[in-house]
Structure 1
Amino acid sequence: MTTKAPEQPLERIESCIHWIRGEKVMLDDDLAVLYGVEVRVLNQAVKRNIERFPDDFMFQISEDELQNLRSQIVTSSWGGRRYQPYAFTEQGVAMLSGVLKSPRAIAVNIEIMRAFVRMRRILAENKELARQLAALERKYDDQFKIVFEAIRQLMTPPEPKRRPIGFVTPK
């Protein structure tokens, strides 16, 4: 009898995918939560199979990258860690399925792969839309300049909202 892992909403998985060093990656602590294991257990399994994880599959993020990531997310889930988190690329996450062999790990891995594919598709569609918009701009010049500028603004992802951290006293 196999036990089925609880399904992870695609949005939950996509929120765990970050851009670091120009790569879409997932951090070890997010993966551990999704797989239902402790971070140390996940990292021990990786270290026992380190030959499966070359630098383009997994890397340890720097202190600067960690601080930048913390400021983007606003809250920190890394309190108390003694080392920098590991970041896994799409290939590294796929390789984890061979290292973590539980039914839950396999089911979660399938959902993560779907999330990466969906993000790749969205990025490709956005590039195609930008290419088509540029072609239309060249064709219609100044007639629709304001319309094209408005469309470009709509295509630009919103800046993350940053709230001050801590207690703020009224002035």
Structure 2
Amino acid sequence: MAKETMKLHLMMPDEAVINKIYLIRGQKVMLDRDLAEMYGVETRRLNEQVKRNKDRFPKDFMFQLSSKEFENLISQFATSSWGGIRKLPFAFTEQGVAMLSGVLNSAIAIQVNIQIIRIFTKMREMLLTNKDILLTLEKLENDVTTNKQDIATIFEALKQLLTPPAEKRIRIGFKPGDD
């Protein structure tokens, strides 16, 4: 049975893991209940292990959500499956997730952690790649904005060249006073 559970966790698609990564306090984090589900343990058991190894989880590795943060998180979902939670969840940063493999010493925890760390790494690489693209686009936007006035001036000059001048009336014949 343990091997079947391990296979189930190993076969979890990356998208399912990515959907459990949230942006809270400007950091990408995973919640204790989601991690516990992935590891195949109860949330309270995961949190007990963390409390027993408190020194391994400084504030930049793990923090507890405030009531407002938790309410905002729940409001992002149309239907809530959070149930009757008595305690506010803990959020683990990438480093906190990596540290969990040391306190949850099971084959499943190790394999799930490897998958999660790989996903965090891919996300960071994608952000760096997209950052380069965004910087290039921003430079192009600045160039276009800078050149906008010059382009408007060129178009105005072209319009003047393409618009025939208004015809001047040429008087034909004799004008009094012309001798």
TM-score, normalization: structure 1?
A: 0.78
- The percent identity for this pair of structures is 56
Task: Select the structure with the greater relative contact order (CA < 8 A; seq sep ≥ 6).
Answer: 1
Cα deviation, residue 128, structure 1: 1.2
Give a deviation string over 1:102-143, Cα, whole Å, max 9, x none: 101100000000111111122222221110011222334449
1:11 matched to 2:11? The reply is: no
Moved more, 118-127 or 79-88: 118-127
Give unmatched runs, 5+ long, in structure 1: 144-171
Show the 5 A alignment for 1:95-106. 95-106=99-110
Taking only aligned residues, the RMSD between alpha carbons, in angstroms, comes to 1.7
Equivalent in 74, 77, 83 of residue 78 of structure 2: 74
1:48 matched to 2:49? The reply is: no
Cα distance in 2 between the residues matched to 1:31 and 1:139: 46
Across the two proteins, how many residue pairs are aligned to each other? 142
Cα deviation, residue 76, structure 1: 2.3
Task: Work out which of the two has the higher radius of gyration on C-alpha atoms and give 1 or 2.
Answer: 2
Secondary structure in 2 matching 1:55: coil
Partner of 1:118: 122
Give unmatched runs, 5+ long, in structure 2: 150-179
Show the 5 A alignment for 1:82-161. 82-140=86-144, 141-142=147-148
Cα distance in 2 between the residues matched to 1:56 and 1:97: 17
1:25 matched to 2:68? The reply is: no
Which amino acid is 1:52 matched to?
Answer: R
Give a deviation string over 1:80-107, Cα, whole Å, max 9, x none: 1111000000000000000001101100
Cα deviation, residue 73, structure 1: 2.4
Determine if contact 1:5/1:108 at 8 Å carries over to the other structure.
no
Cα deviation, residue 25, structure 1: 0.2
Secondary structure in 2 matching 1:98: helix
Partner of 1:157: none
TM-score, normalization: structure 2?
A: 0.74
Determine if contact 1:94/1:113 at 8 Å carries over to the other structure.
yes
